[in-house]
Amino acid sequence: MRFPTSVTVLLLIFLLSALNPCLSHAGSGEADRLYSLGREQVAAGNYRQAGQSFEQAVVENPLHGEALLQLASIDSRNILTYEKAEDILLSMPEVAGKIGGKGRDDLLFRAGVSLGKLYVKSGRSAQAVSLLRNVIASAPSGAPLDEAYATIGLADYYERLYDDAIFEMRKAIKINPNNVIVKFNLKTIRSRLEHFQAGKLFSRLGDRRRAVVEYRKAIDLDPRFIEARHRLGVELYLAGNAQEALKELRRASLITAEYRKAYEIRYAEGLALLRLGRTGEAMGRFERTVQARPAFAPAHNELGKILVERKEYDAAIDHFVKAIGSDPKAEYARGLQIAMSRKAKAGETPK
């Protein structure tokens, strides 16, 4: 299956087409008739015949945007024709530009949402979310944004980002309280999240044992539930079980490299490794953390403490300064004072 080079390129195509409208192309009466026939066949569940009708409509009028959207929808139903559907949707900016008029922006919006849905179905969730965010930002007045938010929610759901999925689907329902499909999906997610939410509650209450039990139940329901594994690892670490914590955190990190809190997993791994006396490995995790998130103060602080013990005072001071710059906690300031004091005692002058 072919993948577009980047969402940015796709968005440039959309924008350039929108900025360069050409004269509209009047669709023939025969194309309209075939399009109407295709819609009747879709309503009757005859998708193969509908696809043929839409194809014939496009032959009669290559700029029949509605027929093209319907044809892409038909092709999106079968994994074997995903690429064909994608090609049609990627051609829609050019079609919309030639049509011009008020319908152009609406056609671009619906094509963008359809392409986002296709990306979700084909497992390209990150591309889907990036595209749909831009589609929402450029949506014409009155566009059905609930469909776009619902699709983002679905992408988050498939990535096991359940809290994010709930947030997006709530936005969809707020826009359109009658969206039955979103309501059903939201209910399903909430049911699946029951043990996960219980784990978070027990964690806030300081009941580590029960939090661990609930997170494990959530993982039993969905072994790829990355946030549950992440939180379980942290909970095990806080409960004093660094070895088990490290095991769960590593399992979490292997699920997907796209997890938005991957840097937090690496940081937690570093803490567990430190507790196990594996300082060199811990330092590697903290360094990877600040590479991914240069302003993540806790990791800079841990690096500073390790470097002080290694008598690498300049490097330690640098990390403490970065930690304080991101989050001026007293703990980080004390670390900086210790590093500067030890450097002075070693006969060096702080820079």
- Mark whether 94 and 116 lie in a shared domain: yes
- Mark whether 339 and 286 lie in a shared domain: no
Report pLDDT digits (tens) over 177-218.
Answer: 999 999 998 888 888 789 999 999 999 999 999 999 999 999
Domain boundary among 266, 293, 320: 293
Per the structure, the complete domain to which residue 320 belongs is given by 309-351
- Mark whether 271 and 235 lie in a shared domain: yes
- Mark whether 15 and 130 lie in a shared domain: yes
- Mark whether 245 and 277 lie in a shared domain: yes
CA–CA distances in Å: residue 126 to residues 154, 260, 264: 11, 11, 19
Question: Over pLDDT 90: what percentage of the chain?
Answer: 67
Domain boundary among 156, 174, 192: 192
Residue 206: φ, ψ to 5°: 80, 10
Instruction: Return the CATH number at 96.
Output: 1.25.40.10
- Mark whether 171 and 282 lie in a shared domain: no
> Of 118, 114, 117, 179, which is closest to residue 146 (Cα–Cα)?
179
> Cβ(249)–Cβ(227) under 8 Å?
no
Would the pLDDT of 5 be above 70? no
Q: Which of the given ranges, 3-17, 91-105, 210-224, has the highest pLDDT on average?
A: 210-224
Considering its fold, how many domains does the chain have in total?
Answer: 4
Label residue 351 exposed, middle or buried (CB < 10 Å: 0-12, 13-18, 19+).
exposed
Report pLDDT digits (tens) over 9-68.
Answer: 455 444 444 444 443 344 468 999 999 999 999 999 999 999 999 999 999 999 898 999
Determine, yes or no, domain membership for 303: no
